[in-house]
Structure formats: C-alpha cells, structure tokens
Amino acid sequence: MDYLQGLNPQQRGAVEQTKGPVMIIAGAGSGKTRVITYRVAHLIRSGVDAFNILVLTFTNKAAKEMRNRITDVVGLEAKNIWMGTFHSVFAKILRVEAEKLGYPSNFTIYDTDDSKSVLKAVLKELNLDDKLYNPNFVYNRISAAKNNLVAWQEYQQNDQIQADDFQSGRGQIGKVYEMYVQRCYRAGAMDFDDLLFKTNELLKLYPDVLYKYQNKFKYLMVDEYQDTNFSQYLIVKKLASINENICVVGDDAQSIYAFRGANIQNILNFEKDYPDLHVFKLEQNYRSTQNIVNVANSIISNNKEQLKKNVFSEKDHGDKIKVNRAFSDNEEGKTVAESIMQERTTSGLKWNDFAILYRTNAQSRSMEEALRKLNIPYKIYGGLSFYQRKEIKDLIAYFRLTFNPNDEEALKRVINYPRRGIGDTTVDRVILSAGQNNITLWEVILEPAKYLDGRSAGSVGVFSTLIQSFQVITKTLSAYDAALHIAQHSGLLKDLYEDKSVEGLNRYENIQELLNGIKEFSEREDIEERGLDIFMQDVALLTNDDNDKNPNADTVSLMTIHSSKGLEFPQVYVVGLEENLFPSQMSLNSRSDLEEERRLFYVAVTRAEYKLNISYATSRFKFGTLINCEPSRFLDEIDPQYLELDFKAKQKNDNPFFNDERTAWSRNSNNGNNDTFSKPKPPAAVKTTSLLAKAHVPSAGFAPSDTNNLQVGMEVEHERFGFGKVINLEGKKPDVKATIFFKEIGQKQLLLKFAKLRIV
C-alpha cells in the first residue's frame, strides 16, 4: 500500500472509499489524475477483477496516461480495465451489439466533414437554400437533438421545436434530420453523436443487453463529470443502477462546454440521484502560487451556481498578477511579446514555458505578428489536425471503403482520385441509379454494365475490382502491409510523389508519416487487436484535445482558453479582457451564460504555475473597423490586493480599469436567475475617440538613437508614446530597463534594446 503514503487526507479518503456512490470535487491542480489512478489501482489491489472496472474519460490522452500510471502500481492487469473516452468505449460495445440495431459490426464512423457532406446532399435534393439552411447550423441543430436523445420522429412531432424552426424560416429541418439519418443508416455509418445516441437506444430497447453490461461493469468511474451531457449522464446512470459503485470526479468551476451540450447540473445535482453519496473535496492546489489561487478564488466566488470549496496553495505567495492596459490590440501583442522576451532572458526559461491564452481564435493575429517581429518561435494549437488534412483523409477513405463498401462518403471521395476517367457526370448517374432502384451506390458499382453506358461502366468496373482486391488482401496482411498495399495500388502514393512542389512534397511526407503511425500501431504489444480496421476506429475517435499537444516542442504556445483546459505552464498571458470579447457578447443574455464565461476565466487563470499576466486593449479592430473597448467586468471582480497595475487611477476612488473617459457597465437585475446587462448612454461630454485623437506623430526623419549612454533626466521621443523624460534606469547591459514619463500617456517601463528611442 506504499502508493497511498504520498496522498493527503482527502485524497486518501477518496481512494479508499471504494463502495457506494462517491463524488470527488477536484479543484484546479489538486492531483485529480493521481487520485483516479490510485483509486482504480486500489480496487484491483483489494480484489476487484479489472474486467469489471469501467473508467470513462474525455480524451484518449487522459486514458493513456491513467492506464500507464495504474500499470506502474498493479502491473499488466491494468490492460484488462475498460478505459477510454465515452465514444471509444461505447463504439467498442456497439461493434459487438450493432446488428441488433440493424447496423453492420464494421460500421463507419463519420467525422464532422462527412456529416456535413451528407447534409449538403440532402439540402440539394430538397432544393433548400443552403444560406438559410446553413450546413453548419443544421448539423449543430441535429447534434443538439441527438445529445438530448430527441430522435427525428420526436423532433417532427414536438410542437415547440417545430414552432421555433418555422419562426426562423427553417421549417424543413425535421425532414432534413430524417433524410440524414436514413442516408447514414443506408451507408452503414454512425456519426459521432450516434455513438452515444445508439448506445442509449440499445440499452433502452434490449433489457438483456443492459443487464449484461450492468453486471459486467460493477465499478464505474467518470472523469470530468461536469462536462457530461444528457446522453452521457443517462448511460452512466443506467449502467450504475444495480451496484451503485459509481465515482464521479470533476470541478464545477471548470465547466466550460455548454456549447457542446455539457450540463453543469449533472454535477451540481449528483447528490439528488445518490442520497447516500460520499463527498471528498480536493482543495489543495499543487500547481500555482498562493497569489494565483487567491485571484482564481475571488473570480469564481461571484458565481451563484457552484459547489463551495476553499482552494489553497502551500507554495510561496509569488508575484502579484500584472495587469496591462494597451491602446490597441497591436500594442497589446507587442507588450506581451516583449515581456516574454525579457522574462526568458532574465529567468532562463524555455520558450515552451510560456503560453498566450485568448477567448477567440481571431485574437491570435496581433500576437503572431508581434512574436514574429522578435523572432520568437511559437505554435498555434487547435488548428487543422493531422488527420483532417486532405491527403490523409483521401487514403483513410480507401481504408474505410475497403471495410465498408456501403460508405457513400468515402466512395464519392476516392472514386476518381487519383483520376481514372470517372467524371462528375458518371458519379451523378451512379447516385441516380441507386436512388431509382432503392439500392446502395456500391451495388450499382458492382454491376456497372446494368446501370451505366459502355465507357463509364468500364471505368467504374475497374474501380470496383480494385476495392474488392483490397478487401481480399486486408484479411491476410498486417495493418501496415495492408495500408502500404492500398496506398501504392490505389495510385495515391504515386500521384503525390510526382507532385514536385513544396506542397506536394509535404503531402507525400504526411502520407509516409501516416504509414509510420500504422507501422507502430501494428507492432504494439499492449493491445490485442491490431488490424487496420481497429486503427481506423482509433483515428475516428480522436478528440481535438488529443491532437498537436507536443510538450517537448520549444515554442511559445498560443491557444484558446477552451483548448488550454488540462494544461499548465510556468508563465501565462491571458489577453483581451474586454467587454463583449471576454465575457463574450453572446453571454450577456442570462446569468447561466455569464457564469460559464466566468468559469472560463477561472480556467485561464489556473493554467499558470508561477506568473500570470492579464491584459486588455482600449481599442481593437473588428471586421476591419477600429472600435473602442471597455475593460472586462471580470477585472473589477478580482481583489485588488493581488494585482499589480502598469497604470494608475486618476483619483483614489476611481475604478482602476476605467479611465476618466470611460463609463462602467450597469447590471440590471431581472428577477429570478436571469440577469441582463446593458451599457448606459455616455454623457454628452464624453469623448470616446480621444485616445486615438492624441496618437503621436513621429518627428520628421525619426530614427532611433544609440541608447548605450542614456542617462536619467534625458529627454527622449518614442514613435508611438511621444516625448518623455527618463526618470530611472535599472539592470545590466544588454537588459537595461528605462522608466520614462511620457507627456501624453504617463509612466512606462521599457527594455532599452527593444524600445527604439530617439534622444532629443
């Protein structure tokens, strides 16, 4: 039991309470992963069969990390635990049980692009305007329905849903939903939401199947429970209903995925489902300094809906949190970049010790430009993942078609790539013939002479023979050898090799990298099934959080706050703390939306280990127009004793985040739980553009001087800040910092080697 010795009392209590319902409220940086892994290890050490333990996570990365840690304690028995994401675990169950629902066991899992492609075809068939029926909107509408277990039949029969659709001018969404489901079914495909929707359907329609898995999974653990949606909640509740040995782990203060359907009420009301609940609060933060923890606590204390906890840190108090005010988003980027350069120079940190977090992807532009000017290496996370690149999707489409020839999206993608004389007209004829004869596209392709004219039939016949040959070889070859054979004989590898452009070379190298990954997969010893079809399932179930997170790359990390969840960095810069940006304008309609934005800010703050910087701009470009910005209300919610401002309030009682030309936002209570927030009209004398009007125009022929001999008392000119006087110099060359009082904007501290000053 030596693994228990390093746990604090609350952690140990949560690990040792193995019977009955348990809720572990895990504050940020409180050792949550350690508790989950040791609890599972403790179950096995206590005699529980690993085959009877189900652990559900939200990323494959988290599941892999937990399994490795459990292996360190209990050995290879950890291989037998059912552990993975909700979607991967229930996809595995559906592979076994899918035929009960009319699906083949080798059903395809459609990604978002596949689903939207099907929807576009349906919209075209129904002659619906794709501007009004935007595929993204329709996809999200159907996804939300599935996550709330609303089938297309119920969707069409629900008066409120229909009224909403007709009011928005989209009264045919119910019909689109019906045809979309039928197309997927005909193709032997499930989309990502179906993996949960169909599991619920399976457990509801087949009591024997429910009973089977209730008795198999005698112990359930759910990580990040605050992020579960209604569909996930119901599956877990059903599976745990006999034994009630269920343990959920989460932090309501980090519930930030309502837009994905996550329901914070699942964790807030957990005790109502299990009155005999054992609750453990992990309140010691091992990640951050006490000042950072104090800021986080003062932020989240403003939320009404929460499970109370007192998070603390036994680390040093650390630096106060620095708040920077910039005149523009470009200046904000420049300030952040210069700060990172200075901190790295003076503290000996690596580039990957720094992260810049923002509310929206669009904010990365000003940050990128500033980092590039200083030659600071950076990487943006959350962009196009490896498996979403065209060449990768093309080859995987061949794999998909090999195992499921009814997969219409895969078929349409590769039937004429590389080019083999099957044009759009022929493809349209194949689709038309399938529709007229109520058969699949593949059935048409198997007998092309029956449905197509001579030349087209010949080309299509060659293609069908090719796919059938792939079906034969995959039964005898390893995953890697089968993949290589398909890449070569499909003509895809040759086509990319012959493209000698830089882009072509990159695409060819990406295919080689995919094949390398399959080679590694086919040689793994920690899994029983290593076929190409299993590899494809793993790829289909990758989450955004599993992609492009290389902690060893020595680059500054740029990402949205949503993407940062679960990560930590020694120094963090949270940028864009402005009204209508953070909190977002869309969140100002209800208390619940605003509280989620506040939780998002809490997540951002708690990513920092030692230093936290917060900044906002008083003007920002939006859709090509320069707009004035108000500081975020969240800044005003932070206890000022934990902050260091790089500017001063004009009067003692002023709100430091609003200068004398700004006006605070009013909060108008609207009975009950919903609050509305509106900006009062400014008095007539307010000059909302005065900061821009005072922008400094550099002197004619402005050129930076050599500042090696700069002295206190000298007059200088800065190309943006204007004229000022040096009032202090500190530090050693080449990292001398000058404190300068500028006539127009007041006092600023600049690193001389970057400041570009002209000595007057």
672 vs 334, which has greater pLDDT? 334
Which pLDDT does position 623 carry in this prediction? Answer: 56
Q: For residue 464, what are the contacts with CB-CB under 8 A and spacing of at least 6?
A: 442, 445, 446, 448
Question: Which band of pLDDT confidence, cut at 50, 70 and 90, is reported for residue 649?
Answer: very low
Q: Choose the weakest-confidence range: 60-69, 249-258, 648-657.
A: 648-657
pLDDT, tens digit, 9 for 90 and up, residues 245-279: 999 999 999 999 988 889 999 999 999 999 999 99
Selected catalytic residue, list 32, 170, 183, 662: 32
CA angle at 441 for the pair 435 and 444, rounded to the nearest 5°: 90
**Residue 730 to residue 752: CA distance in whole angstroms:** 10
- Torsion sign, CA atoms 111, 114, 119, 122: negative
Q: What is the pLDDT of residue 456?
A: 87
* Residue 653 reports pLDDT greater than 50: no
Q: Is the model's pLDDT at 686 over the cut of 50?
A: no
Q: Is 100 a catalytic residue?
A: no
Pick the closest to residue 115 from 92, 138, 95 (CA basis).
138
List, for residues 384-420, the tens digit of each pLDDT value: 567 778 899 999 999 999 999 999 999 999 999 999 9
Go through 329-351 and write b for each residue having 16 or more CB atoms within 10 A of its CB, e for each that does not: bbbbbbbbbbbbbbbbeeeebeb
Instruction: Quickly count: other Cβ atoms within 10 Å of residue 32's Cβ.
Output: 22
> Would you call 32 a catalytic residue per the annotation?
yes
State the average pLDDT over residues 466-479: 93
Residue 520 annotated in active site: no
**Does 607 qualify as catalytic in the annotation?**
yes
Alpha carbon distance 540, 534 (integer Å): 10
**Predicted confidence (pLDDT) at residue 142 exceeds the cutoff of 50:** yes
754 pLDDT higher than 80: no
Nearest-angstrom CA–CA distance, 184 and 190:
6
Please state the rounded mean pLDDT for residues 11-28: 93
Mean pLDDT for the stretch of residues 719-746: 83
Q: Predicted confidence band at 152 (pLDDT cuts at 50, 70, 90)?
A: very high
The predicted structure's pLDDT at residue 655: 52
What confidence tier does 348 reach under pLDDT thresholds 50, 70, 90? confident
Instruction: Give me the mean pLDDT over the 203-223 stretch.
Output: 95
- In sequence order, what are the beta bridge partners of 748? 740
The catalytically annotated residue of 11, 85, 254, 707 is 254
602-642 pLDDT, tens digit per residue, is 999 999 999 999 999 998 876 556 788 899 999 999 988 99
Least confident of 133-137, 276-280, 649-653: 649-653
Whole-model pTM: value is: 0.75
Q: What is the mean pLDDT of the chain?
A: 86
Determine the pLDDT at residue 562.
92
Phi, psi for residue 733 in degrees, rounded to 5:
-60, 140
Residue 529 predicted with pLDDT over 80: no
Among 33, 71, 265, 555, the one annotated catalytic: 33
Longest distance between any two alpha carbons in the chain, whole Å: 93
Asked if residue 687 has pLDDT above 50, the reply is: no
- Burial tier of 109 (Cβ tally within 10 Å: 0-12, 13-18, 19+): buried
Question: Alpha-carbon torsion 40, 41, 47, 52, what sign?
Answer: positive
List the binding residues for ATP. Answer: 26-33
- Percent of the chain topping pLDDT 90: 56
Lowest mean pLDDT among 248-262, 466-480, 545-559, 713-727: 545-559
Average pLDDT over residues 570-581: 95
Q: How confident is the model at residue 182 (pLDDT cuts 50, 70, 90)?
A: very high
Q: Which of 39, 334, 607, 633 is an active site residue?
A: 607
Q: Is the pLDDT of residue 684 over 50?
A: no
Residue 208's H or E segment, with its range, is: helix 207-216
Say which of 194, 223, 252, 675 is annotated catalytic: 223
Smallest Cα–Cα separation from 431: which of 477, 97, 157, 422?
A: 422
d(CA 67, CA 82): 10
E strands of 336-463, at which residues?
A: 354-358, 378-380
Average pLDDT score over residue span 484-507 = 87
The pLDDT, as a whole number, for residue 680 is: 33
22 three-class SS:
strand
Annotated binding residues, written as ranges, equal 26-33
Determine the 3-state secondary structure of 516 from DSSP. helix
Q: Find the catalytic residue in 97, 191, 224, 597.
A: 224
170 belongs to the catalytic site: no
Share of the chain above pLDDT 70, in %: 90
Residue 657's pLDDT is what? Answer: 55
pLDDT band for 709, please (50, 70, 90 cuts).
confident
Provide the token pair at 60: 């494959």
Tell me the average pLDDT across 464-473. 95
Can 254 be counted among the known catalytic residues? yes
